[in-house]
């Protein structure tokens, strides 16, 4: 993978170029090592305060803190689960009328709020191509209510409602969003913050519906030590389980960090990712083999999409 351990370094922007201003303020309620916090901090640095947040119930509403204080340096609308994309579209329309159309409206929602409970209105906003940025921070379960499985929980993972390991695979949300033909879809990881910042800025430069899916390893729910958040996130990418890519106006582009992974030999063994997480501690050989098949098919699909995008770009 080259370069530093923090692979997100060989990007088109540098750490130094990020603003010193913070939009997630210290002294908030997140667990030590929280991935949502890393994501929220980077979101603030990407948009430098020119945004408002719409947040349905999730860990990030708790991180926000109790009234009369807020840990977020920007205005936040807290709203019922299924309403966030529509509410965001309404706020954006209001800004347009007031001549403040340059303020970005960002939905920041969990995987439960996105893949399950908010799915219908998210699909509606995508179909209408509402001018919002939707970011799903994916900690792969309903963490805030006690680690219940969501449709984004991966196969074989323990949660309090899948005590022998989940029997279904993770729902492929980014691809479902791409099927709506919205102008911009991207995957990102808290382990590669600069890549995430670049993608958020790209999304902000595009009019219409933008969707970014941010992989967010959660020490509390995944059962790993709090200092391993970034390491686990990096392994998810390096093993091929969480590919980083963009679909920019229909054109699929594998992110540079992941290009070597097209060759199977460059992917780390899945065990490296699995073994440091308590939620996979009881995984069987068969389940591991099934996860390996899943990664294989994921990358076969990616190879096909790259081919297809090359063809359409070539004008065939």
Partner 1 sequence: MLKQLSWLILLLEVVELSYILPVSKPSEGASGFTGIWRSFKPVIDVGKCRKCLLCWLYCPEAAIKRVGDDYMSVEVDYRYCKGCGICANECPFKAIIMVKEG
Ligand X SMILES: Cc1ncc(C[n+]2csc(CCOP(=O)(O)OP(=O)(O)O)c2C)c(N)n1
Q: Which residues bind ligand X (CB under 6 A)?
A: 57-59, 81, 110-113, 139, 142-145, 150
Q: Minimum distance from CB of 169 to ligand X (Å)?
A: 17
CA–CA dist 173, 114 (Å, integer): 9
Q: Which H or E run contains 136? A: strand 133-138
Site string for ligand SF4, 58-77 (x = CB under 6 A): -x------------------
Please say whether the beta carbons of 70 and 76 come within 8 A.
Answer: yes
The first and second tokens of residue 57, run together, are: 């119930």
Please say whether the beta carbons of 129 and 208 come within 8 A.
Answer: yes
Nearer to ligand SF4, 231 or 292 (CB): 231
Nearer to ligand SF4, 28 or 238 (CB): 28
Distances (CA, A) of 304 to 248, 252, 297: 16, 10, 11
Alpha-carbon radius of gyration of the chain: 19
Does 31 contact ligand SF4 by CB under 6 A?
yes
Does 55 contact ligand SF4 by CB under 6 A?
no
Nearer to partner 1, 249 or 275 (CB): 275
The first and second tokens of residue 149, run together, are: 């499985």
The residue to which tokens 């993972």 are assigned: 157
Site string for partner 1, 174-193 (x = CB under 8 A): -------------------x
Q: Minimum distance from CB of 274 to partner 1 (Å)?
A: 19
Does 153 contact ligand SF4 by CB under 6 A?
no
Subset of 120-139 contacting ligand SF4 (CB under 6 A): 139
Does 70 contact partner 1 by CB under 8 A?
yes
Q: DSSP character for 101?
A: T
Name the nearest CA neighbour of 143 among 169, 110, 105.
Answer: 110
Among 11, 36, 194, 261, binds ligand SF4 (CB under 6 A): 36
Nearer to ligand X, 150 or 287 (CB): 150
CA–CA dist 261, 264 (Å, integer): 6
Residues forming contacts to ligand SF4 in the complex (CB under 6 A) are 30-31, 34-36, 59, 139, 143, 218-221
């Amino acid at each position: 993978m080259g370069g530093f351990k923090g692979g997100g370094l060989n990007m088109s922007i540098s750490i130094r170029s990020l603003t010193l201003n913070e939009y997630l303020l210290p002294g908030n309620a997140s667990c030590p090592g929280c991935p949502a916090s890393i994501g929220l901090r980077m979101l603030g640095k990407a948009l430098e305060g020119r945004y408002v947040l719409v947040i349905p119930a999730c860990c990030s509403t708790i991180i926000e803190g109790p009234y009369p204080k807020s840990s977020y340096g920007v205005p936040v609308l807290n709203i019922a689960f299924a309403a966030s994309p529509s509410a965001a579209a309404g706020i954006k329309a209001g800004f347009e009328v007031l001549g403040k159309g340059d303020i970005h409206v960002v939905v920041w929602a969990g995987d439960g709020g996105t893949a399950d409970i908010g799915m219908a209105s998210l699909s509606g906003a995508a179909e209408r191509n509402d001018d919002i940025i939707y970011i799903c921070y994916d900690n792969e379960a309903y963490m805030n209510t006690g680690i219940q499985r969501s449709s984004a929980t991966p196969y074989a993972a323990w949660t309090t409602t899948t005590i022998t390991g989940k029997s279904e695979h993770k729902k492929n949300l980014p691809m479902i969003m791409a099927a709506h033909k919205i102008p911009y879809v991207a995957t990102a990881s808290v382990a590669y913050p600069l890549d995430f910042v670049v993608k958020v800025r790209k999304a902000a430069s595009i009019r219409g519906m933008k969707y970014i899916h941010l992989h967010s390893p959660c020490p509390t729910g995944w059962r790993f030590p709090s200092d391993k958040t970034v390491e686990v996130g990096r392994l998810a990418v390096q093993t091929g389980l969480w590919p980083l890519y963009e679909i920019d106006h229909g054109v699929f582009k594998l992110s540079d960090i992941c290009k070597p992974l097209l060759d199977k030999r460059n992917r780390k063994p899945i065990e490296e990712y699995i073994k440091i997480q308590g939620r996979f501690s009881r995984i069987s050989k068969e389940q591991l083999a099934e996860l390996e098949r899943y990664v294989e098919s994921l990358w076969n699909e990616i190879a096909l999409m790259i081919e297809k995008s090359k063809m359409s770009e070539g004008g065939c």
